[in-house]
Structure 1
């Protein structure tokens, strides 16, 4: 039986997600906004009035300055918001995340006058999102990328191996992953330099050192670890989601030609280490809860440590767009869905720690490329163009097999509610030419 205090807390949490909930901030009530009052994602921002990076929450066209509200004694929490990363706040644990979100919901809901009517506080507490600079939301100690879309793995396996054996025997037994470079994770809007590396051309005996010729995106999501585990102490699959602070969009830029030459026998290295872009706002699992849904059936049934009960997918629609330099419009490359992922975030975290690996607050875990069953639902140009064999026509003319210099790639995603959406904002980057070195 749930005690009355716990029940009151759960009722307050449910109230923050009510479809009918509205805010006195009018832009948050726009049905096309990614940031309604039901969302309240966390990030780090700065502005001209205060150039110090600090914690904020997005709502409509505004950012709520959490440090200002905390200093005004309107948010009950430890003093962790005047910092350039969210790690100290995240480390407080799930009950504190929920408490702050519930308090913010009450302050921002229609009918609340606490901030709205305070002529001195309101301009300090609310910063126009369009005039703010957004920063990497967490200090990321470690980054792991998984390979959890069955459609993506099947496409790539068919392309480079016998289609009848596209999936290797281990793929349906465990979430396949590799440890990437946390140091090169960047926030949306940061330009990406085209990498150089060794490329093995089919008509030459030895590789050449050159700029990547097959630059690609990987449309992914990522989750941020909110509660780590001690070395040697695995996280159980049924408890894994309590260790997750929230989700971001993620583009794991990929140099396909460099990767094809280097990946045997230990997997990606320079082909993936040059940049990984994430969106600046972390959407909490509490905000995503109404969009929880079932995952694809897993066959064979996973081993016991990878089993969990209930629904562990989320109905997130994802888009990828490409806009060439100087172009007036972008071309939609793909529409796909997070709910198609074969392995869940809980299974990924459980498998990551089952051998005893410790995780830390702020660790980033990528889903792997998210692809669907059709060419227009594939999460990479490698699949969309079948390794360059089937070019994509661009709006306004031209075509693409892979990404060219000056192209801007943008990922977006949201969950659709009744009259509102819970979105992630943008995950975007422009490609700069390779540096002319090492020839």
Structure 2
């Protein structure tokens, strides 16, 4: 498990001045991993302030040695998968070496500064891209409040599934339609019931966002070999934001075996992976369960996880409509929630996922599910914010929303904070709803 070390020192500052401002997501204590396109070539990098350490350019300078050099060489690909598969000590060594190179009194400061645009390009000068290849995607359902509310909206006699308090419920999502933050989210087609109860096919109404955190698997496990709760977080490389865009009208009509077309049209992840080690100062006890809840079965109960399986992590969603942008109004904060609102920890999700012998692989993505709490402001999707359309969300300019409309843009963000630690962020996870294409749309036909 990650322990505090010199990279977490709150007194450490960087010679990259933008990393020392109090509002940056990427101080020297963070150093998240990502990827970018520069002059047509995809490279991996590490965020520091408003710049990116180009890991291939850094490797070419031969400033690193030992495990750090090995890790940096492994990251010189177009994705982070090779790096993520390494033992944690290699990634930790690279993080420590980067921290030493970027600290304000680093001996190599002048050498790096003299070629700063080559080794540390500005984020605004490059295009951020999906930093790793995602093989499998599992989305969990771990907020009691989100689950119970949706059960009520559907008119279920028991809004909370019987298994919810015994295991982390999940479904297998679609990895091929995961996309990095930014760009359009195309309104999908599908079948749904209209207001009169008739089944229709067309552009989906009731389009929604869902604010989630996701774990990215580093090294996996062999088929038939379960991961113990005590070692589960050793298999997590890091975390990113996830927007599990949902066509609720399609989902609620089609869902028998689980979500399908109502979810598989698009999911967005943030551009940076914040490592497990970077989050060490923000660890806290797992959220307490209510009196009378079932006891956690032994394979999901770890003493270490109960002591520090939670995180001091606040999460936010902002909405910007086309009219707001036209009038130059700032986005409206519509959600402010906390990771405490999850009933299960990520270690429990990993342990449960593999408890039947299922093998996780490097790059697999595990979503937390919508992180909704009990309060109104902590409702983490528009369906909950509008009580399934009964109370439209009122925006400051007079617009209302019960569903996302074309041109609406959602931006997710998160902030880890704790006494005595430098606060770190995750960047943003952004997407704008684009109108449905004419149906059917077959790109191959347009080429002939």
Using the size of structure 2 for normalisation, the TM-score is 0.92
- 2-side partners of 1:118 and 1:407: how far apart? 42
- 2-side partners of 1:30 and 1:296: how far apart? 31
Alpha-carbon offset, residue 118 of structure 1: 4.6
> Who is 1:104 aligned against?
98
Alpha-carbon offset, residue 296 of structure 1: 2.1
Indicate if the aligned counterparts of 2:316 and 2:412 stay in contact, CA closer than 8 A.
Answer: yes
> Who is 1:405 aligned against?
406
Aligned with residue 275 of structure 1, among 249, 263, 266? 266
Aligned with residue 91 of structure 1, among 72, 85, 94? 85
- 2-side partners of 1:100 and 1:170: how far apart? 42
Partner deviation per Cα, 1:300-337 (whole Å, 9 max, x = no partner) = 12111111112201111100011012522211111000
Q: 1:118 to 1:232 in 2, by over 3 A?
A: closer
Aligned with residue 437 of structure 1, among 429, 436, 439? 439
Aligned with residue 172 of structure 1, among 140, 154, 165? 165
> Who is 1:69 aligned against?
58
- 1-side partners of 2:113 and 2:154: how far apart? 63
Q: 1:118 to 1:107 in 2, by over 3 A?
A: closer
Alpha-carbon offset, residue 137 of structure 1: 1.2
Range that drifts further, 295-304 or 66-75: 295-304
Q: 3-state DSSP class of the match of 1:40? A: coil
Alpha-carbon offset, residue 132 of structure 1: 1.5
Alpha-carbon offset, residue 202 of structure 1: 4.6
> Who is 1:125 aligned against?
119
> Who is 1:17 aligned against?
8
1:33 matched to 2:24:
yes
- 2-side partners of 1:319 and 1:192: how far apart? 19
- 1-side partners of 2:113 and 2:438: how far apart? 55
Q: Unaligned regions of 5+ residues in structure 1, if any?
A: 1-8
- 1-side partners of 2:112 and 2:58: how far apart? 12
Partner deviation per Cα, 1:189-238 (whole Å, 9 max, x = no partner) = 03110011001225245x11011110000100001000101111111111
Aligned with residue 244 of structure 2, among 249, 252, 255? 252
> Who is 2:445 aligned against?
none
Alpha-carbon offset, residue 169 of structure 1: 1.2
Q: 3-state DSSP class of the match of 2:233? A: helix
Indicate if the aligned counterparts of 2:281 and 2:421 stay in contact, CA closer than 8 A.
Answer: no
Alpha-carbon offset, residue 156 of structure 1: 1.1
Q: 3-state DSSP class of the match of 2:428? A: strand
Q: 1:321 to 1:416 in 2, by over 3 A?
A: same
Alpha-carbon offset, residue 119 of structure 1: 5.3
- 2-side partners of 1:118 and 1:411: how far apart? 33
Indicate if the aligned counterparts of 1:291 and 1:315 stay in contact, CA closer than 8 A.
Answer: yes
Aligned with residue 51 of structure 1, among 18, 37, 40? 40
- 2-side partners of 1:56 and 1:273: how far apart? 29
Partner deviation per Cα, 1:107-148 (whole Å, 9 max, x = no partner) = 001111403445543331111012211111110000000000
- 1-side partners of 2:112 and 2:49: how far apart? 19
Indicate if the aligned counterparts of 2:316 and 2:337 stay in contact, CA closer than 8 A.
Answer: yes
Q: 3-state DSSP class of the match of 2:258? A: coil
Q: 3-state DSSP class of the match of 2:121? A: strand
Indicate if the aligned counterparts of 2:15 and 2:109 stay in contact, CA closer than 8 A.
Answer: no
- 1-side partners of 2:396 and 2:197: how far apart? 36
Alpha-carbon offset, residue 419 of structure 1: 7.2
Paired residues for 1:34-433 under 5 Å: 34-47=25-38, 50-75=39-64, 76-78=69-71, 79-118=73-112, 120-162=114-156, 165-205=158-198, 207-264=199-256, 266-298=257-289, 299-309=293-303, 310-326=307-323, 327=325, 328=328, 329-417=330-418, 418=420, 420-433=422-435
Indicate if the aligned counterparts of 2:300 and 2:352 stay in contact, CA closer than 8 A.
Answer: yes
Indicate if the aligned counterparts of 2:287 and 2:310 stay in contact, CA closer than 8 A.
Answer: no
Indicate if the aligned counterparts of 2:112 and 2:119 stay in contact, CA closer than 8 A.
Answer: no
> Who is 1:6 aligned against?
none
Range that drifts further, 77-86 or 150-159: 77-86
- 2-side partners of 1:288 and 1:187: how far apart? 22
Indicate if the aligned counterparts of 2:44 and 2:80 stay in contact, CA closer than 8 A.
Answer: yes
Alpha-carbon offset, residue 162 of structure 1: 4.5
- 1-side partners of 2:114 and 2:288: how far apart? 55
Indicate if the aligned counterparts of 1:319 and 1:413 stay in contact, CA closer than 8 A.
Answer: yes
Indicate if the aligned counterparts of 1:223 and 1:366 stay in contact, CA closer than 8 A.
Answer: yes
Indicate if the aligned counterparts of 1:53 and 1:82 stay in contact, CA closer than 8 A.
Answer: no
- 1-side partners of 2:244 and 2:184: how far apart? 14
Partner deviation per Cα, 1:322-361 (whole Å, 9 max, x = no partner) = 1012522211111000122110000001111111111110
Q: 1:119 to 1:62 in 2, by over 3 A?
A: closer
- 1-side partners of 2:440 and 2:48: how far apart? 47
Q: 3-state DSSP class of the match of 2:8? A: coil
Alpha-carbon offset, residue 436 of structure 1: 1.7
The number of residue pairs the alignment matches comes to 425
- 2-side partners of 1:338 and 1:400: how far apart? 25
